[in-house]
Amino acid sequence: MAAGAILEIRGLAKRFRARAPGAESPWIIRDLSFSVREGELLTIVGPSGAGKTTLLNMIAQTDTASGGEVRFRAQVAPLGDAKALRPGLSRQIGYITQDDNLLPWRTCLGNVLFPLEVQGRLDGQTRARAQSLVEAVGLAGFENHYPHELSGGMRKRTSLIRTLVYDPPVILMDEPFGAVDAQTRALLQADLLRLWGEGRKTIVFVTHDIAEAIALGDRTLVLSRAPASVKSEHLISIPRPRDIGGILTRPEFVTLYQAIRAEVA
Amino acid sequence: MARRSEVETGGAVPAPAAQRRSQRLDQALELVFLLALWQVLSLWLGTYWISSPLATLAGLFRGLASGELLLHASYTAGEAAIGFLVGGIPAAALPFALRRMPVMTAILDPFMVGGYGAPKLALAPLFILWFGIGIESKVALVGVTVFFIVYFSTLSGIRALDTRLVQMAQVMDANEHAVARHIVFPGAVPYIFTGLRIAMPYSIGGAVIAELISANRGLGYLVQLRAMNYDTTGIFVALAATTCIVFLGNWLVNALERFLLRWRPPADAMLQADA
Amino acid sequence: MSALEQASLVESAPGMNRRRLLVMAGRIGLAALLVLAWQVAADTAGDLYFPQPLAVARRIAEDTASGALPWNTYVTLRLSVIGFLLGCAAGILVPFLLRLSPRLTGAVEPYIMASVGVPKYALIPLFILWFGIDDAPKLWLIGLLVFYVVFIAVFAGIRNVDARLVTMARVLGASESVISRRVIWKSLTPFFFAALKIALPRAVSAAIIGEFLVGNAGLGFVIENSRQQVDSTGVFTGILVATALVLAINAVLERADRRVNAWRPVDRHMEI
Ligand SMILES: Nc1ncnc2c1ncn2[C@@H]1O[C@H](COP(=O)(O)OP(=O)(O)OP(=O)(O)O)[C@@H](O)[C@H]1O
Ligand SMILES: [Mg+2]
């Protein structure tokens, strides 16, 4: 295991069950390897359908790998056997999925409190933390709204802080800002950087927006088209704290952007 | 941060106000027309055949004032309500118990389908034979009728479970019990209510049929008794009272549903109510 | 992920087969258990409440041989079918008449929908008073029950017909009656089948309940008459035959529907 790596992926492979018996199903992911350091913000870009969501599902242990190894600290995810999976590895890995997956029967605040409630950790202190997170992402005043009464961006923010509230050391994010307009997106990105700066979590952030990947990440991985593997790796040395708005015109940014752009196309 | 100061709750496009008003007017005119027709018919054919609207209304008030109607109505409503609970609660609970037992569910399936399709009202004489002419036989009939309807609607609710929500909860370290309580159950509630809404008229219908066949109280008994005395107005009054109970029951279920399912977007709720 | 899906994802072909065998065995076992329970109940509770299964089987055989059971079944079926046809005719006709005037539809439809709440079975004594004690009151009951099911389905179906199709037909110079026949009726058939599947079994139960209360033949009469004579064997016999009859009708309709509508995607809003 590489020094300081909290998460290590080695030769990972995935294919789904064939639709018809006897038929061959294609490899979605093949021979994919990388590792994530503690406290790092790793971004992953790749074309749509490359297998990014599938990769995060295997790291979060909501799906099984067909081959290779996913290692979190010393724990290796089981291969093939869905029943042996431990989703979230006892709340060590948080996962903000591509769809917001809010519970429609709970209010905004109710959704944020949900993990605390099921973990039996809901008390005055954690409740206050939830409230401060709600305020930090600008949802104050909407605590009692049901998901269908929130805008798409508000739902995204709710799902974001729902994971932050229980403070898992590693957080996987699957295009968390995918379906929002450019301005809201910039605000959410700034929020994320600020929250990450305070807490220094390990974050694996999937997106297909190259600019976002560069603006947020310490390092960016580029995935190839299916069967996905790591096509290239870019260290991003733009100093922090970063100004999301101003970064776009910096020369380092432009160089990186063009390099990655050429690889993804 | 982009915020929306107000939240839209309106759904469907409403009909133009003028059109709606003229429709209301048509409906009101028709109501007057129907009542007039009814009155004329009763005058023409005589109250032996058809009671007049006025006589029915008067009878309704007389029955209410003397307490007789309320007494019988409360028996019928009570039978229906108890049967509704006796049949509905196990029917809603069973699919939850069977959630982790696909083989058991499959074994039960043909029996449940058979029970669902069987003419349960035909069991009325059997229940009277077993339990006598009191409330027990009515409760049994209502319970059996309600059971199969609610069982299948609850089962479909559990089958429609959004597995992504379950995975989300599992990632957050929710145990089996928490998943059942916070995700499976709330997700199934709309389906349970669909079953309850369908079952409601059946429960009152079942109670009334059992009373028609053999009873010594209840609205069905009242209809039968008055038919034997050729008291047409009396029959009309009892029928009106029965209809009122059905409406009351529907209203109760709908009100409870609206309260429990206030998290649903209104358009969705409207679709459900229409179905 | 539910256990069902998990199992279906993980299990391989031989596992599936084993499961199917297990289910089959379980069903047979459960059926045997039910019969056994009946036997035990008969032995403990006595003939008055639970007739011996064998006695019921013997009664079914005897009454079939003597022709009484087939005759009573025929009476019930005939009544159901006539009442069903009457109710169907009205249930189809009224929406098509209403279609001629949207204003009429707006005025009449809410009343018809509101009257759905009237408990139809409670009308039987009134029907007996009005129409005598022959088949007429029962036919009214069956017809009325069927009417509502068919009316609601056909009405919803007409609303659902693609308005563009109708306009196109009009532009092409089709008359109203041709539109009714060709365009609307065509798109209505799935709705109509859905209604049929509900209404036909319901017609049979309505006939049986009508026979409880009036008349001297039919399966309903057999059941209720046996009860009045405290003949539990007769009650069981009648109920078993009635249940078998309705379930058989269900099965036939199910199969026909699957054959006719096999290509159609399932539309859950069509459920009534
Ligand atoms: N449950 C499944 N069964 C079969 N194939 C699947 C399943 N889930 C995903 N796939 C396939 O795996 C491939 C990768 O899907 P995945 O959702 O991981 O892509 P993605 O990189 O997240 O794309 P996007 O950027 O559009 O979200 C796709 O070709 C998809 O069709
Ligand atoms: Mg994805």
For a pLDDT cut of 90, what percent of chain B falls above it? 49
pLDDT digits (tens, 9 = 90+) for A112-134: 999 999 999 999 999 999 999 99
A73 φψ region: left (φ > 0), alpha (ψ -120 to 50), beta (else): left
* CA–CA distance, B1 with A185 (Å, rounded to integer): 10
Q: Domain of A56?
A: 1-15+26-92+202-265
| Centroid of ligand 1 to alpha carbon of A166 (angstroms) | 28
- Summarize the confidence of residues C203-212 as an average pLDDT: 92
**Does residue B56 sit at the C interface (CB-CB below 8 Å)?**
no
User: Can you give the C-alpha Rg of chain C in angstroms?
Assistant: 24
Nearest residue of C to residue A80, measured between CA atoms: C10
What's the total number of domains in chain B? Answer: 1
- Is the model's pLDDT at C267 over the cut of 70? no
Best mutation site among A54, A204, A221 for ligand 1 pocket (most ligand atoms within 8 Å of CB):
A54
**Does residue A82 sit at the C interface (CB-CB below 8 Å)?**
yes
CB contact under 8 A, A21 and C13: yes
Q: What is the dihedral of CA B260, B264, B268, B273, to 10 degrees?
A: 10
Among A92-96, A242-246, B62-66, C135-139, the range scoring the smallest mean pLDDT is A242-246
User: Residue A117, Cα to own-chain centre: how many angstroms?
Assistant: 23
| pLDDT confidence band for B272 (50 / 70 / 90) | very low
User: Residue A190, Cα to own-chain centre: how many angstroms?
Assistant: 16
- Summarize the confidence of residues B110-130 as an average pLDDT: 90
- Is the model's pLDDT at C6 over the cut of 80? no
CB contact under 8 A, A81 and C10: yes
pLDDT digits (tens, 9 = 90+) for C107-147: 777 788 778 878 888 899 889 988 988 899 999 999 999 99
Whether A247 maps to a domain, the answer reads yes
More confident residue, C197 or A40: A40
Whether B221 maps to a domain, the answer reads yes
DSSP state of A225: S
**A195 neighbors A205 (Cβ within 8 angstroms):** no
Instruction: Return mean pLDDT, chain B.
Output: 85
| Centroid of ligand 2 to alpha carbon of A48 (angstroms) | 7
CATH number at residue A64: 3.40.50.300
DSSP bridge pairs for A6: none
Nearest CA to ligand 1 atom 1: A16
- Is the model's pLDDT at B8 over the cut of 60? no
User: Among all ligands shown, which has an atom nearest to the Cα of A55?
Assistant: 1
| pLDDT confidence band for C258 (50 / 70 / 90) | confident
pLDDT computed for residue B111 by the predictor: 93
Whether B22 maps to a domain, the answer reads no
Nearest CA to ligand 1 atom 7: A16
pLDDT computed for residue B262 by the predictor: 84
- Is the model's pLDDT at C95 over the cut of 80? yes
DSSP chain B: ----SS-----SPPPPHHHHHHHHHHHHHHHHHHHHHHHHHHHHH-TTTS--HHHHHHHHHHHHHHSHHHHHHHHHHHHHHHHHHHHHHHHHHHHHHTTT-HHHHHHHHHHHHHHHHS-GGGGHHHHHHHH-SSHHHHHHHHHHHHHHHHHHHHHHHHHT--HHHHHHHHHTT--HHHHIIIIIHHHHHHHHHHHHHHHHHHHHHHHHHHHHHS-SSSHHHHHHHHHHTT-HHHHHHHHHHHHHHHHHHHHHHHHHHHHHTTTS-HHHHHHHHH-
Whether A154 maps to a domain, the answer reads no
- Is the model's pLDDT at B168 over the cut of 90? yes
Ligand 1 atom with the shortest distance to the CA of A55: 18
Whether B27 maps to a domain, the answer reads no
- Is the model's pLDDT at A239 over the cut of 60? yes
**Omega of the bond leading into A115 within 30 degrees of 0 (cis):** no
pLDDT digits (tens, 9 = 90+) for A58-115: 999 999 999 999 999 888 888 878 888 899 899 999 999 998 899 999 999 999 999 9
Among B27-41, B240-254, C40-54, the range scoring the smallest mean pLDDT is B27-41
Per-window interface: B 74-133 vs C, CB < 8 A:
99-108, 110-111, 114, 117-119, 121-126, 128-130
- Is the model's pLDDT at A161 over the cut of 80? yes
Nearest residue of C to residue A17, measured between CA atoms: C9
Closest Cα in chain B, distance from residue C244 (Å): 8
Instruction: Return mean pLDDT, chain C.
Output: 82
Whether A164 maps to a domain, the answer reads no
* CB of A16 shorter than 6 A to ligand 1: yes
**Does residue C10 sit at the A interface (CB-CB below 8 Å)?**
yes
pLDDT digits (tens, 9 = 90+) for C170-199: 777 777 777 777 777 777 777 777 788 888
User: Residue A169, Cα to own-chain centre: how many angstroms?
Assistant: 13
Closest Cα in chain B, distance from residue C243 (Å): 5
CB contact under 8 A, B129 and C243: no
What's the total number of domains in chain A? Answer: 1
What is the complex's ipTM, to 2 decimals?
A: 0.89
Alpha carbon of A24 to those of A20, C9, C11: distances in Å? Answer: 9, 16, 17
- Summarize the confidence of residues A196-208 as an average pLDDT: 88
Whether B56 maps to a domain, the answer reads no
More confident residue, A18 or A162: A162
Whether B136 maps to a domain, the answer reads yes
Measured between beta carbons, which residues in chain B are less than 8 angstroms from residue C220? 122
Nearest-by-Cβ selection for C243 from B100, B118, B223 = B118
Across B191-210, b (16+ Cβ under 10 Å) vs e yields bbbbbbbbbbbbbbbbbbbb
* CB of A172 shorter than 6 A to ligand 1: no
CB contact under 8 A, A149 and B7: yes
pLDDT computed for residue B2 by the predictor: 36
Q: Domain of B239?
A: 65-268
Amino acid sitting at position A222 = V
pLDDT computed for residue C118 by the predictor: 84
Measured between beta carbons, which residues in chain B are less than 8 angstroms from residue A114? 169, 172, 182
CB contact under 8 A, C6 and A81: no
Torsional sign, CA C249, C237, C210, B126:
negative
Chain A neighbours, 3+ Cβ pairs < 8 A: B, C
**A90 neighbors A125 (Cβ within 8 angstroms):** no
Three-class SS state of A256: helix
pLDDT computed for residue C197 by the predictor: 83
Closest Cα in chain C, distance from residue B3 (Å): 35
Best mutation site among A32, A52, A207 for ligand 1 pocket (most ligand atoms within 8 Å of CB):
A52
Nearest CA to ligand 1 atom 25: A48
User: Among all ligands shown, which has an atom nearest to the Cα of A62?
Assistant: 1
**Does residue A181 sit at the B interface (CB-CB below 8 Å)?**
yes
* CB of A228 shorter than 6 A to ligand 1: no
- Measure CA of the first residue to CA of the last residue in chain B; give whole Å: 40
CATH number at residue B131: 1.10.3720.10
Whether B104 maps to a domain, the answer reads yes
**Does residue A83 sit at the C interface (CB-CB below 8 Å)?**
yes
| pLDDT confidence band for B188 (50 / 70 / 90) | very high
Measured between beta carbons, which residues in chain A are less than 8 angstroms from residue C9? 17, 82
| pLDDT confidence band for C272 (50 / 70 / 90) | very low
pLDDT digits (tens, 9 = 90+) for A2-32: 557 899 999 999 998 887 777 788 899 999 9
pLDDT computed for residue C105 by the predictor: 79
- Is the model's pLDDT at A48 over the cut of 90? no
**Does residue B263 sit at the C interface (CB-CB below 8 Å)?**
no
Per-window interface: C 123-162 vs B, CB < 8 A:
123-126, 128-130
Closest Cα in chain C, distance from residue A103 (Å): 16
Measured between beta carbons, which residues in chain B are less than 8 angstroms from residue A133? none
* CA–CA distance, B159 with C2 (Å, rounded to integer): 9
Across B144-154, b (16+ Cβ under 10 Å) vs e yields bbbbbbbbbbb
CB contact under 8 A, B125 and C126: no
- Is the model's pLDDT at B141 over the cut of 90? yes
Measured between beta carbons, which residues in chain B are less than 8 angstroms from residue C219? 122
Q: How many B×C Cβ pairs under 8 Å?
A: 162
* CB of A189 shorter than 6 A to ligand 1: no
* CA–CA distance, C203 with C212 (Å, rounded to integer): 14
For a pLDDT cut of 90, what percent of chain A falls above it? 56
Nearest CA to ligand 1 atom 5: A16
* CA–CA distance, C203 with C81 (Å, rounded to integer): 8
Interface test with B, best of C133, C144, C212 (most B CBs within 10 A): C212
pLDDT digits (tens, 9 = 90+) for B200-239: 989 999 999 999 988 889 999 999 999 888 888 889 999 9
pLDDT computed for residue C164 by the predictor: 67
Interface test with A, best of B173, B179, B262, B270 (most A CBs within 10 A): B173
DSSP bridge pairs for A15: A27
Q: How many A×C Cβ pairs under 8 Å?
A: 9
**Does residue C73 sit at the B interface (CB-CB below 8 Å)?**
no
**Does residue C44 sit at the B interface (CB-CB below 8 Å)?**
no
Measured between beta carbons, which residues in chain A are less than 8 angstroms from residue B182? 103, 114, 117-118
